């Protein structure tokens, strides 16, 4: 009788462990495209990611760099002070998108150009991701208040 209880307990533990492993694998599979790593322009130029990697880039839109083409394609440069990266975006930009303002873009880095699939414009000081803010502070380009204080 004792060995039957012990065997049943071991079977339940093994089924629970298998279910946990299976659910963890499903969650990982579902999130494979949902995780975007953030990089500053300096980080992108120092260690260029592979062309198939989707990530986020952020910084300030460089003054005088916005070029609007014949179609809905817009070319501009994003900078963190020491480095800047050319960005190409096809679509309608947010209303708050202007020069010398913060932006975050999602896309891929292909042949030295960031091909953006989404552009977000800064709407106040708290919108700027911490990594962008720290990179801008280090380069002396940060013009906003310190949200930590």
Sign of CA dihedral 51, 33, 79, 101: positive
The predicted pLDDT at position 121 comes to 82
The percent of residues above 90 in pLDDT, for the chain, comes to 35
Least confidently predicted of 11-15, 110-114, 119-123: 119-123
Helix ranges, the chain (H)? 2-30, 41-46, 130-139
| pTM for this prediction | 0.64
What whole-number distance in Å separates Cα of residue 94 and Cα of residue 118? 10
Q: CATH homologous superfamily for 37-139?
A: Nucleic acid-binding proteins (2.40.50.140)
Domain borders along the chain are 1-35, 37-139
């Amino acid at each position: 009788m004792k060995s039957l209880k012990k065997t049943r307990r071991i079977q339940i533990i093994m089924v629970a462990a298998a279910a946990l492993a299976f659910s963890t694998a499903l969650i990982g599979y579902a999130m494979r495209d949902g995780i975007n790593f953030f990089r500053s322009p300096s980080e992108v130029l120092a260690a260029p990611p592979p062309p198939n990697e989707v990530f986020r880039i952020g910084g300030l839109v460089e003054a005088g760099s916005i070029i609007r083409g014949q179609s809905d394609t817009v070319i501009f440069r994003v900078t963190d002070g020491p480095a800047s990266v050319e960005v190409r975006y096809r679509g309608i930009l947010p209303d708050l998108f202007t020069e010398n303002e913060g932006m975050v873009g999602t896309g891929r880095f292909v042949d030295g150009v960031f091909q953006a699939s989404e552009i977000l414009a800064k709407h106040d000081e708290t919108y700027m991701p911490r990594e962008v803010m720290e990179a801008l502070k280090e380069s002396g380009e940060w013009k906003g208040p310190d949200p930590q204080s």
